Amino acid sequence: MADCETVAILDFGGQYTQLIARRVRENRVYCEIFAPAVPAAELSRRNLKGLILSGGPASVYEPGAPRCDPAIFDLGAPVLGICYGMQLACEVLGGEVSAAPAREYGRVRLRIREPSGILAHLPAETSVWMSHGDVVTRVADDFVAMAETDTCPIAAVRHRQRPVFGVQFHPEVTHTPLGGQIMRSFLMDVCGCRGDWRMEDVAARAVAEIQARVAPDERVICGLSGGVDSSVTAAIVQRAIGDRLVCIFVDNGLLRHQERELVRATFQDHFGMQLRVADAGRRFLAALAGVTDPQQKRLAIGREFIEAFRAEARSVPNARFLAQGTIYPDVIESGHGPSGHAATIKAHHNVGGLPSELGFELIEPLRLLFKDEVRSLGETLGLPRDLVWRHPFPGPGLAVRIMGEVTEPRLELLRAADAILLEELTAAGWYDKVAQAFAVLVPVSSVGVMGDGRSYEGQNLVVVRLVETTDFMTADWVHVDYEVLGLVSRRIINEVKGVNRVAYDVSSKPPATIEWQ
């Protein structure tokens, strides 16, 4: 992406940094998140159109607070400081920052004295979201205060000569209703971005990069999971090197109903990819025998996955590369940096990543994309809609959706219940409205009526979980129709032998997690 118009976001540790990036990209402007002290010289090698300094929890006057290279203000690219970013910009350029008499948090009225630059196209008063404990108490003579609130006289600033702006509030959050306009004004009017970043170009660049790295006699292995990220990765690599891509799909026996058939039909039959299926269900089940602790399950599955993958990969000749569907949030969470190649494995997923000891060089065409961008890229590449919009499925699969020991009969039962749930949600139009939907098996008997008597024998509880979320870090349970729940419950109880009770999970994250284990 080195040659495309780029806005650099310097991350001072704010909780909204990823959101800033999302807002920039919504304007079809490419941006990347950098470590706060990234040298100006490094940024100057890019086609830099602007800089955004994020918020952060520190105080600029504290020893050890993160700082930027002061030379970034001399690059000529416009700068927008947000919260901590504004305080830092003001301080570096001669102003003063100190603790506010009281922390300001929440929605406040902003009065605009100078409706120009980033504040152009706004009414004289608007509502903005604040979250700060420090304030800019004095600006250098070169600065003008553009807006104020009741408690914050310097709530937005601009430099008189240079294209440097700052806002004390957070334009990137939805609680600032006109924040989108402020971001747009900065990107389009101040930075002069064209807003022409397109998925077609992202695909073309990724393809060219892979072609440049992989020699004509070399092969690339791609671990397919059936999920969106690995599917889009495989599609890009195939576009780059055709049948020198070899996909490996590990059937760990912990998959959903007909998953293996779906992967085969899509990738082998439809896309004509070379697909090797490691039929490893039996060894995974053996490794899970007697294991009830969730983390032990994950560890056992992780170990088996690596072994099964390694065994299959060994038989692929001339395979120097491994293509992996690492996406941008994984890279950011595992320690960002412009050259952050340290983040080679999906770090927050302890299953599904492969260790570097396997000895492959990594190809990660999605490492700078957010999930919805990956989906849009998938559509650009012609992947089927159902695949592109699939809900995420955890690497350890149904094993973490069975409370207690994982056994074949329990897997069969859960698979059947889950298939009914997904079928009915899809038919009722709910599947696409939620972020994740699945069934959980709780092998605890509750009383049921069998014939004329009460019975506790061999009956299980199935819990249905539907969540809505944008980032999977927080999630709400879904207020789904009772009609749909009723139908799902009736069908599961009637059609799945061994289930006499269905419950709906009405807990949000936090404190509950999305998965039950």
117 binds ligand XMP (CB under 6 A): no
352 binds ligand XMP (CB under 6 A): yes
131 binds ligand XMP (CB under 6 A): no
**Total residues at the site for ligand XMP (CB under 6 A)?**
15
> From residue 29, how far is each of 216, 252, 365, 368 by CA, in Å?
34, 41, 19, 13
Query: Is the separation of the CB atoms in 25 and 370 below 8 Å?
Result: yes
Residue 59 identity:
S
In degrees rounded to 5, what are phi and psi of residue 204?
-60, -40
* The one catalytic residue among 32, 172, 304, 364: 172
Q: Which is nearer to ligand XMP, 351 or 420 (CB)?
A: 351
Helix, strand, coil percentages, rounded to 5, for the chain: 35, 25, 40
Q: Of 141-149, 228-236, 346-354, 457-465, which segment contacts ligand XMP by CB under 6 A?
A: 346-354
Q: Of 96-104, 377-385, 387-395, 454-462, which segment contacts ligand XMP by CB under 6 A?
A: 387-395
Query: Site for ligand XMP (CB under 6 A): which residue of 22, 175, 213, 509?
Result: 509
Query: Site for ligand XMP (CB under 6 A): which residue of 253, 365, 394, 443?
Result: 394
Question: Nearest CA to 253 among 299, 308, 295?
Answer: 308
Q: Which is nearer to ligand XMP, 59 or 507 (CB)?
A: 507
Question: Nearest CA to 92 among 166, 171, 155?
Answer: 166
Is 83 known to be catalytic? yes
Please report the sign of the dihedral spanned by the C-alpha atoms of residue 132, residue 137, residue 139, residue 143.
positive
Q: What is the nearest approach in angstroms of ligand XMP to the Cβ of residue 303? A: 14
Q: Of 51-59, 83-91, 146-154, 344-352, which segment contacts ligand XMP by CB under 6 A?
A: 344-352
- Alpha-carbon span 264 to 378, nearest angstrom: 18
* The one catalytic residue among 91, 170, 312, 364: 170
Q: Which is nearer to ligand XMP, 107 or 348 (CB)?
A: 348
Q: Of 99-107, 143-151, 202-210, 506-514, which segment contacts ligand XMP by CB under 6 A?
A: 506-514
- Alpha-carbon span 367 to 345, nearest angstrom: 11
Q: Which is nearer to ligand XMP, 211 or 292 (CB)?
A: 292
Both tokens of 517, joined, read: 């284990």
26 binds ligand XMP (CB under 6 A): no
Q: In a 10 Å sphere around its CB, with 0-12 CB exposed, 13-18 middle and 19+ buried, how is residue 333 labelled? A: middle
Q: Which is nearer to ligand XMP, 180 or 392 (CB)?
A: 392
Q: What is the nearest approach in angstroms of ligand XMP to the Cβ of residue 268? A: 24
Buried b (16+ CB within 10 A) or exposed e, 108-134: bebebeeeebbbeebeeebebbbbbeb
Q: List the interface residues with ligand XMP, window 459-488 (CB under 6 A).
A: 472
Coil, strand or helix: which one is 308? helix
Is 170 known to be catalytic? yes
Both tokens of 157, joined, read: 């600033």
Q: List the interface residues with ligand XMP, window 434-453 (CB under 6 A).
A: 436
Q: Of 147-155, 191-199, 230-238, 343-351, which segment contacts ligand XMP by CB under 6 A?
A: 343-351
513 binds ligand XMP (CB under 6 A): yes
Coil, strand or helix: which one is 51? strand
- Alpha-carbon span 338 to 68, nearest angstrom: 14
Question: Nearest CA to 515 among 298, 289, 263, 325?
Answer: 298
Q: What is the nearest approach in angstroms of ligand XMP to the Cβ of residue 191? A: 35
Q: Which is nearer to ligand XMP, 22 or 349 (CB)?
A: 349
Question: Nearest CA to 32 among 6, 64, 57?
Answer: 6
Show Cβ contacts of residue 460 under 8 Å, excluding neighbours closer than 6 positions: 413, 441, 442, 443, 444, 445, 498, 499, 500, 501
349 binds ligand XMP (CB under 6 A): yes
Query: Site for ligand XMP (CB under 6 A): which residue of 392, 434, 487, 505?
Result: 392
Q: What is the nearest approach in angstroms of ligand XMP to the Cβ of residue 476? A: 12
Q: Which is nearer to ligand XMP, 455 or 513 (CB)?
A: 513
351 binds ligand XMP (CB under 6 A): yes
300 binds ligand XMP (CB under 6 A): no
- Alpha-carbon span 159 to 328, nearest angstrom: 33
376 binds ligand XMP (CB under 6 A): no
Is 379 known to be catalytic? no
Task: List the catalytic residues.
Answer: 83, 170, 172
Q: Which residues lie near ligand XMP (CB under 6 A)?
A: 298, 349-352, 392, 394-396, 436, 472, 509, 513-515
